[in-house]
Structure 1
Amino acid sequence: GAAQCLQLIGDTRMMQDQYPEAEDSLTQSKEMFEKVGDQLRAAQCLQSLGEIRSMQSQYPQAEDSLTQAKELFERTGSQLGAAQCLQSLGNIRSMQSQYPEAEDFLTQAKEMLETIGDQIGTAECLWSLGEIRRMQDQYSEAEHLLLKSKEIRERIGDTNGLAWCLDSLGTIRYHQDKNAEAVDYLTQAKEIFERIGNQNGIADCLQVLEQIRTGS
């Protein structure tokens, strides 16, 4: 009971961006779960610790926690947990511009998530893989991946994810000097972001729309 309470407190604090307090609670609960041999819950705590460290750009520590979590998830037969760790490891590598390693992790994660039928996770991996290609100016490959992600998100009603796909597709069109199509995608994305109140998304769309308007 106490270990589960601490885990819940840690996860709640993480969502409130109270990282030191979250880390403290999750480390305590992880140690308690390890003592009683509950590998699955210990893995969940390690996964959360990895996410917290990633959000604070502590990438080596994040990778360490996530790799340990992945191994425990594999040992306990939790494919979803292992796939989510691979996805996070891929995103960490992507943030550090280590694209081949990022693609490797994300492709493994995508295949596992497809197998277990996790559509949101699959769509997220496709978007991340598309973004990696976009950042390397491989626009046709990027577009192919982003359109697949967009299709899944439309089907399952993931409006935030759909808007990010439209935003990325608009940015690609802008870089290809197809401004009319870029404006169309970006305007659609901005309208969705406004509807759901995603300020980061709105700012992202406005930035590219302004570049198109001023020809910069």
Structure 2
Amino acid sequence: MKLFYKAGACSLATHIVLHELDLPFEIESVDTSEKTTASGRDFLQINPDGYVPAVELADGNVLTEGAAILQYLADTHPDAGLAPAPGSWERTQLHRHLNFISAELHKSFGPLFAKPALEGAARDAAVEKIGTKIGHFERILADGREFVTGKTFSVADAYLFTVLNWTNFVGVSLEGHPHAKAFVERIAARPATRAALTAEGLLQAA
């Protein structure tokens, strides 16, 4: 299995889950601007949409779309408990969280990664929108739960951490969202998260 990734991008969630599952896998970075991989492959031949993550399986099939990859990994390794059983109420809640992260929170960061960089009122509006989306999870986490689905780490936590961690790169503060801030700190301390961050050059090896 090979994960095609860009350091710190949404592919980090898949990278974290692969470490949580302790699976044998390779990683290869992608220049998403040039659409080439570190080994010189044409990334558009791997994912015609041109973005990460993409996971190439041993049989040659390629999985794309982060939320789908996360659920595939959880479902093919059910003993790890990274997703509730299909068809259960708890699984429906996992879908809810993954969908909100993907369609609302993840998407809201797009303007701050655009070039040229936003300034003035446009940036303020983008930051305010991000804050509104973070507020959704701030309310969920305010009941004292350790993870977004409750007491158990799931693939949704890997994805939520990845997106919330972007605040460190775009100058958005989590100080107004103490529960979300504490969540990021908890997930950042997990060995799998630290391993993925280190492999992507985002954390200095101990």
- Structure 1-normalised TM-score? 0.33
Query: Counting strand residues as a fraction of each chain, which structure ranks higher?
Result: 2
Larger RCO of the pair (alpha carbons < 8 Å, separation 6+): 2
- Structure 2-normalised TM-score? 0.34
